[in-house]
Structure formats: structure tokens, C-alpha cells
Amino acid sequence: MRRINPCALQRRILIGVGGGISAYKVCEVVSTLAKLGAEVRIVVTDSAQQFITPLTLATLSRHRAYSDRDFWEPTHGRPLHIQLGEWAELFVIAPLTANTLAKLAAGMADNLLTNTVLASTCPLLLVPAMNREMWKQRAVQRNWQQILSDRRVHSITPVAGVLACDLPEVADPQEMSAFGAGRMAEPEQIVAHINSLLHTNGKRDLATKQVLVSAGGTREHFDPVRFIGNPATGKMGIAIARAAVHRGAQVTLVHGPMDVEALSSLPEVKLVGVTDAGQMYEALSEAFPTADITIMAAAVADVRPATFHPEKLPKRSLPEQLKLEPVTDIISELAQRKRANQQLIGFAAQTGDILHPAEEKLRRKNLDAIVANPIDKADAGFGSDTNQAILLDSTGRKLDIVGCSKLQLAHYLLDFIQDSPERGWA
């Protein structure tokens, strides 16, 4: 059995900071990457320095931050923008302003940032932020679509939310969604995309694929306030959906009840919310026929109360014994409908011996692959941000993944699926 033991990030990341109030979010991005072991270099535009100082970014990155002042100074070595462009394994611009976007779309180079873009060949991640009316302008959208046509360019589009200029207008938080896009993505989302691009080196190997993912736990209600459930949070399923999107896939996520904020970090994903196993079965059955890859990461109930009481039962009326009945075995039903060109992957959350139960489930349910996942170890399983697993497939391959982030595990799983000698993509 082959083993992967992920280590520190140890990659070279160049970050360009544009002039916008959301530049403050870049501080957390830089700090997080440095703590993960990455080498981070910063290019700060003149306008960005109106919002954040080079000293702040230099302190967080453990390296000086470069500005146009450095660009125009005489040098006896190789030009700074050439050095930086060749050094970077990944180039991120956040926030990307309308002004810098226009320059990139036109191929202009009038400062250190834009010169370095033209001097680099690595993947380029653009993270725009601006007033919603500016973002909606036809010229801005034309420039945006033009730059996205470049295969090296990846993006995190702005999201709906409160903008700095809109704060005085907010009367009711419920109306926030009506404000439209323009808000820059949150640091956690940016760091996740950076990690994905470093893992894939910018390849979009799922660009033609439809990926279906199930996530979270189900709730089998006894009455309106009591249910049989489990501790699943959906973090692993969200990580798989996110990794697939970053690799170019069209993704549908069928999820049980989970944190709304976590779901808001997946603007490119089609979200289908359900509560119980029956609803999850219906939603997955509807989406399954068009899916190329289906990954069943949800923790679905095995049984449900035989009787549902539409009103809350008083404590004195609770039965001493709760009669249960089985729910539909969703993954087995989908396996019976699976076509030759589809891949169906399951999860086996186990305590103790995780390998043999997963091997048995892989055979019995006619799966293409399965993730054997320990839930009785520290920093693995339900609710944690990290995980470990053994990946197995129907050809007998086994891959042991030692502790890593759930996003890393998601990418290792997608690599494993596509490398299958029987079911890999041409």
C-alpha cells in the first residue's frame, strides 16, 4: 500500500495587492500562508498603500514588500519584475481593482505589478473587489471575460454582501442579498483556492465533468423537535465540492442541515438542501443520471422512527421503546443504475479496523472506490478541519493518506479516481 504524508506548504507565492478597502483581508491571507510554511513575496501598488502599509505586509510575510519605488530604482542585477515573475509558482492579485483589470485585459505594463504579470508564466489567481455598480459596468465585465479567456488565469468572483460604500444604506440584514456582488472573497476561501492551484499546478482536469457530491448528516425526525442524527458537519463534502470546482468541474452538492456560512463559500456550486434520508435519496436520484463522478460523503441514517408525530410529544408521553425501520440504501440503489462511464465513490466512517470493513463495503455495494475514514482518532472524522484515510478502488489499489487538511484529502481522492487504470478519463 502506497502512503502519502503531506508536509508543509513550502511553495513560492507572489501576491499583488491593489488599492481597495478590502486590502485589509490580504493580511490574513499572507499570515496564514506564512504559517503554513510558504515563501510569500508581496507587490504593493501605490494606491494600495493608501489602505495598508508595506511594513505590515513585510512583517506578516517575513520578507520585504516591493513597491513601484523599488521598480524604478537603478539595479545592477536582473530587473526586479523579471526576478519575481520567474520566482513565483503562483501569482495572486487581491484585491483586483477595475483599473488593474483594465490594464491586464489590454496587456499594459506601467507599474511593478503589471510588468511582473507579463514577466510571469505561472498560474494567475484574480480576486476582484469593487463597488457593485462598478462591477456591473459593461466595460468591466468585458475586461473580465477577456482576461478569463487566458488559460493561466483563475478567479474567485465577487460575492453578494455589505460593501464599505453601502453600510449606511443597510436597514435590514435580511435585505443584504439584494445588494448584489462586489465584495471580495473571504481569506479562508482565497487560501483554499491557492492550495488547490498549488496542488494541481493550475490544471483544469475536470473541466468537462459533472461532479455530484453528498455531504453532512441526515435527521430522521420522531416529532418536530426530536430526531435521530449524527455528528457529521459536512466539512469533508464541502472540501470535495470546492476541490472539484477549482479543477474546473460543474458541481452539485446535496447536503443535509449544516452551517450556512460554510455553504456561502461555494458560490459556483449548485446547492440542494435536504433534511432526511428520503429527501436525500430523491435529490441524488434526480442528479445522478448526468453525473460523471458521484462521491457519497454524507453520513446518511440507517434507520428512522417508524412513526412521526406532527406535534411535539410531552415528555410524559414519550414511548419507552422507539420502533425503528430501515431507510433506503442510497448508494446501493445508485450502484444498480450506474453506467459504465460513471464513477461512484463511497465513504466508510469506522472505528478500530477501518480497512477490512471498507473492502467489504466496496465489493458488496459495487463501488468504483471507497474512502476508509477513521472517526476515533484525533484530528480526523466528524467536525475536524483535518482528516486521514485509506483510499481503495475496485482494481485493488490502496493509498494511505496520513493526516492532512480535508481540502488536501479531497484532491488526493480526485487524483486517485482519475488515475484508476480501469475507469480513468481519456
Question: Can you spell out the DSSP letters for 115-156?
Answer: HHHHT--S-EEEEE---HHHHH-HHHHHHHHHHHTSTTEEE-
Query: Has residue 232 got a pLDDT over 80?
Result: yes
* Distance from C-alpha of 375 to C-alpha of 353, rounded to nearest angstrom: 11
Tell me if domain 12-200 and domain 210-418 are identical in fold: yes
Q: Which pTM does this prediction carry?
A: 0.91
The predicted-structure confidence for 375-419, as pLDDT tens digits, reads as follows: 888 888 888 999 999 999 999 999 999 989 999 999 999 999 998
Residue ranges of domains in the chain: 12-200, 210-418
Average pLDDT of the chain, as a whole number: 92
- What average pLDDT does the segment 204-214 reach? 97
The confidence score (pLDDT) of residue 182 equals: 83
pLDDT above 90 covers a percentage of the chain that reads: 81
Domain 12-200: top CATH class: alpha beta
* Distance from C-alpha of 273 to C-alpha of 284, rounded to nearest angstrom: 11
The confidence score (pLDDT) of residue 174 equals: 41
The predicted-structure confidence for 263-285, as pLDDT tens digits, reads as follows: 988 989 999 999 999 999 999 99
The predicted-structure confidence for 341-359, as pLDDT tens digits, reads as follows: 999 999 999 999 999 999 9
Number of H helices, E strands in the chain: 15, 21
Please work out, in degrees rounded to the nearest 5, the angle formed at the alpha carbon of residue 367 by the alpha carbons of 306 and 402.
100
Q: Which residue do the cell numbers 488526493 mark?
A: 412
- What average pLDDT does the segment 181-192 reach? 92
The predicted-structure confidence for 63-78, as pLDDT tens digits, reads as follows: 999 999 999 887 768 8
* Assigned fold of 210-418: Rossmann fold (3.40.50)
CB-CB contact of 265 with 193 (8 Å): no
Rg (Cα) of the chain, in Å, rounded?
24
Query: Has residue 424 got a pLDDT over 50?
Result: no
The gap from C-alpha 343 to its chain's centroid, in whole angstroms, comes to: 21
The confidence score (pLDDT) of residue 227 equals: 95
Q: Alpha carbon of 146 to those of 53, 378, 381: distances in Å?
A: 31, 47, 42
Residues classed as catalytic: 165
Query: Has residue 340 got a pLDDT over 60?
Result: yes
CB-CB contact of 247 with 205 (8 Å): yes
